[in-house]
Amino acid sequence: MKHQPFYSVRPLCPAYPEPADYSAAQKRWIVVQGNAVFYCSGSGSGTVLMPDPLPDIYASSPPVYLGIRDDCIYHAVEIPASATPPADWILSPVRELDGKVPGIEMAFSAYAVRMVDYEMSNAFCGRCGARTRPLNTERARICNECNQIIYPRISPAIIVLIKRGDEILLARSPRFPPGVYSVIAGFNEPGENLEVTIHREVGEEVGIKVHNLRYFGSEPWPFPDSLMIGFVADYAGGEIRIDNNEIEAAGWFKRNELPPSPSKTSISRALIEAWIRGEI
């Protein structure tokens, strides 16, 4: 299998406790604003990595430790929407960094956005309401009062390419960009294994049955916390009947009549391209 999304391999090692003996030359920062980061195009390949020290206007926010790689330590910092980039830097959504920065930096950016969201969303304990603080032994926060440990949330979701002879089923969500179709996806629910999730989601969204499920690959999708688990399945019967909620159109498509596909950084695109190449 050749599928390898841009952050399919963890790019940073979050060694604990956080190392304290790094010089400014070995420190790098990613400045986060929502689902976007500051990016500098430069004269060659762009970068999202700011050197240390940060400008004072950004350094006032609490840093989020990301990890280490190649003798460098990486942190992210969340800044308010009113903050502006320094000269030669612009704000870019992570999804739009493809081709603008090295793939590993796109992975850094996705991870930074995910970890900043986790830290901001768990500043208070969901059980007793007290403040939490980061642990220095693992990626987690602990409540100052009841000692509940809060780990980053991961929300598993299936994504499945359905084959029927020389066709695949593609569907369109009203949330997609104009004209774009993709494969079927949906979140795993409590009490379900992934196979049950596939049969339920396919039945709910397009009304058909599938069988012969095969694992394809997975990727973290940090907007904010999904883990996409990819499968291939064969059509087993039924007529397409869309739910008119999650799906507004669906149909069977041959290789020479495919509609526009999702971003090439996504596992959905990887599934479609693997089928085009005849690998699945």
User: pLDDT-based confidence at 1, cuts 50/70/90?
Assistant: very low
Same domain for 173 and 248, yes or no, is yes
pLDDT band at 223 (very low <50, low <70, confident <90, very high): confident
Can you tell me which residue has the tokens 């320094």?
Answer: 86
User: Would you say 183 and 161 are in contact if contact means Cβ atoms under 8 Å apart?
Assistant: yes
Query: Is residue 1 situated within a structural domain?
Result: no
Please indicate, yes or no, if residue 228 is contained in any of the structural domains: yes
Please tell me the distance from the alpha carbon of residue 179 to that of residue 259, in angstroms, as a whole number: 7
SS3 31: strand
Give the mean model confidence (pLDDT) for residues 42-65. Answer: 85
> Chain-wide mean pLDDT for the chain?
91
The total domain count for the chain is: 2
Q: Is residue 187 part of a domain?
A: yes
pLDDT band at 61, cuts 50/70/90? confident
Position 229 scores a pLDDT of: 96
- The C-alpha atoms of residue 244 and residue 277 are separated, in whole angstroms, by 32
Question: What is the model's pLDDT at position 43?
Answer: 60
- The parent domain of residue 183 ranges over 155-276
Mean pLDDT in residue range 73-89: 90
For 75-95, the three-class secondary structure string (H helix, E strand, C coil) is EEEECCCCCCCCCCEEEEEHH
255 and 162 within one domain: yes
DSSP 98: B
Is the per-residue pLDDT at 2 higher than 50? no
Among 10-14, 67-71, 264-268, the minimum mean pLDDT is found in 10-14
Residue 147 located in a structural domain: no
pLDDT for the residue numbered 57: 83
CATH assignment of the domain containing 195: 3.90.79.10
Is residue 150, in this structure, part of any structural domain at all? Answer: no
pLDDT of residue 44: 62
Q: Per the domain annotation, does 42 fall within a domain?
A: yes
